[in-house]
Every structure is written in C-alpha cells, then in structure tokens.
Structure 1
Amino acid sequence: MVYVLTGGPGFGKTVIAEELALEGYQIGSETARVLIDEQLKKGGEILPWRNSRKFERRVMEARIRFLEQVPDKEIAFADRGLPDQVAFSLYKGKQVSGPLAVAVKNHRYAETVFITPPWREIYTEDEIRKETFEAACRIHEWIVTAYREAGYRLVEIPKGTVGERVKFITDFVSSTI
C-alpha cells in the first residue's frame, strides 16, 4: 500500500520522506525534481519548459513503476503522486493529457493522502524550486483540488519538527492497519 506525501513546493514533504526512508520505509522519490536535476546536469531536453509531453510521460511512467512494484501488504510512501501532475498542469494553464487522466484513474494509491500545509518559515527557493511562496501556495490549492477530484481523502500533517511530523504519519498509518 503506497501512501502519498504531497503539498505545495517547499512545505517539508521531501524532508519527511527522507526521514521515513531512514526508518526503513520504501520511498518513491520526487520523480519530477530528480528528472529536472538529471537533465540540467547533462544538458538534456526532457524538461517541462523544453519538452513538456516527454517530461510528463517520463515522470508518469516512473510513478506508475514505483506504485506497481510495492507489494500490497507493504507500507510505502511516494513523494508526490500522479494527481500532483494534474495539479501542476492546471496551475500552468494546460489541459490534462489523456494518458495522465487515464493513469490517475487506473493507478490508485492508499485512500488517505498526507499533505503538508503552507509554511512560510520553512519555505526556501533553490536551483529547481523557483516559485515564490505565494506561487507555492497557489500550487498547493491546485494539489488539494486534484486529489479531492480523484477521490482521495486529505489528512494535513501538523507543523512541527520533522520527527513529530513523521510520528504523526506513522501513528496514523499504524492505527488504520
């Protein structure tokens, strides 16, 4: 069973995912960020601003592979999921592609999705995350909409230390088994 960690960019989900990995959980990486970093380093063309269709397909395929390789009885976490791609398309004013819409419908995560709330105090921009805090909040709203429209139940991860946030998630998951 794969639980998604999501939220606007820079609100702490990747740090939470990294801590969950240290606790022994299998983690699906933030595929889009990994691909952007890889392509920038080698001067590649599979970037959302150069070849958005190929970028979308690569990210979607990687997310599906991770989802399908986790055994049903194992608990794992994905740093973003397919509905995040829908949210980013809508945020950028693009129509959701047919293949992505089908993937969201056919490849399902655990019903509960953990979402990090906007948190200005921890937000930082970097070489890949160039959005302002305000833009990150707008993306966050699109993410909320995309997951709700896909039929998921969002559970907000309370602000706190990374350890407190991880404990909230693991306590929640263990209480539902």
Structure 2
Amino acid sequence: MDKIIISGGPGSGKSTLLLALESAGFQCVPEVSRELIRQEVAKDSKCVPWKDLACFAKLCLHQMIIDFENVLERELTFFDRGIPDIIAYLRFGGLPVDDIFVAAAKHYRYAANVFIAPPWEAIYINDEERWQTFSEAGALYSEIKNVYTELGYLVTELPLAPVRERVEFTLAKLERIEYN
C-alpha cells in the first residue's frame, strides 16, 4: 500500500493534519525530529539541530528508516515528513549532504504524490522544538519543495484551510474513501 508524505515548513499544520487522519482511522507515523529533540535535550546532548545539525540528521535518518520499514504494507500510511526532508534541512543549514542521505532517499521511496503544507503565518507559533522564525520556516518550505521535486516526486500543495478541509482535499487527491 502507499506510504504518503505530508511535509512542509515548520508550523504549517502538518502534524494537525496527521492527527486528523489518524482519528479518521488511517495509519500515521509521527514526525521523528520532535521526539528525538526531546530525548536529546533530556540527555543534555549536543546532537540537536541548533547545535549539531549533521549529528541530528543522522539520528533522524536512522529512525526514519526504521519507521519506513516497520509500517504495515497492507495499509495506507501517512508520514509526518520523509527522508528527503533531511536533505532539505541540511541544505538549508548550509551543510554538505552526505551520500548516505541521497542513497537512502533513493532507496526508501514513498508514494509518488507528496503533500506539502505552505507557510501559514496565522497558525505559526514557536515552541520547545520549533526555534525557526516564520521567515526561516518559509525558506525551509521552499527547500523542501525543491528536494522532493528533484527526487521525482509530484508535489501537491495543501490549501490554507481548516484541518477537515485539508483531510478532504488529501483524500480526494488520493482518490480514496471520503472523510466522514
């Protein structure tokens, strides 16, 4: 079955959409980075994106591969970000992209259609794991969109709309069951 990516810049409503899809009965994989940030901060580790992005990217890659391999193949699964997002974050951070990230992005392929949430200032907030400004979130969104396009994915932009409308839009684009 399909492994569908929901991506976009920080604070654009991705996680809220995933929660709504999960509530509707779909299998969903949460964003890896938030949990890893919490774990690394609790350990007082330097392997957090604002101190050592390269180290943090490797942690994310390891967990994203595990998540990719562990989903039930018979179910439609939505992922809050995918391996290509790591490449975008590294580029955005001005860091080189090691071959392991490119090889993983090519090997672990998601469904061809990727949904991307555009910057949405009305809902954007900073929190413990989201340190970027709204402007940085917008620039990161552009880099994410570029990476997915370069890797041959069809990028579909989500509307700036309430979560229910985003769910309906996503499912309609996938030509799946209607959201009740």
The corresponding residue for 2:37 is 36
Q: Distance in 1 between matches of 2:51 and 2:158?
A: 34
Query: Once superposed, what is the RMSD of the aligned Cα atoms?
Result: 1.6
The corresponding residue for 2:68 is 67
Structure 1 position 80, deviation (Å): 0.4
Task: Point out where structure 2 has 5 or more consecutive residues left out of the alignment.
Answer: none
The corresponding residue for 2:142 is 141
Q: Distance in 2 between matches of 1:62 and 1:134?
A: 28
The corresponding residue for 1:156 is 157
The corresponding residue for 1:22 is 23
Q: Distance in 2 between matches of 1:137 and 1:51?
A: 22
The ranges of structure 1 where at least 4 consecutive aligned residues each deviate by more than 6 angstroms after the TM superposition are none
Q: Distance in 2 between matches of 1:158 and 1:51?
A: 33
Structure 2 counterpart of 1:15, one-letter code: T
Q: Distance in 1 between matches of 2:49 and 2:171?
A: 33
Structure having the higher helix fraction is 1
SS in 2 for 1:4: strand
Structure 1 position 174, deviation (Å): 3.1
Structure 1 position 70, deviation (Å): 2.2
Q: Distance in 2 between matches of 1:173 and 1:17?
A: 15
The corresponding residue for 2:131 is 130
1:118 correspondence with 2:145: no
Q: Distance in 2 between matches of 1:113 and 1:39?
A: 29
Per-residue CA shift, 1:106-136, capped at 9, x if unaligned? 1100000001111111111112211111111
SS in 2 for 1:120: coil
Q: How many residues align?
A: 176
Per-residue CA shift, 1:73-99, capped at 9, x if unaligned? 310011000111000000010110111
SS in 1 for 2:79: strand
Q: Distance in 1 between matches of 2:11 and 2:116?
A: 12
SS in 2 for 1:67: helix
TM-score, normalised on structure 2? Answer: 0.91
SS in 1 for 2:6: strand
Task: Point out where structure 1 has 5 or more consecutive residues left out of the alignment.
Answer: none
- Identity of aligned pairs, percent? 35
Structure 1 position 175, deviation (Å): 4.5
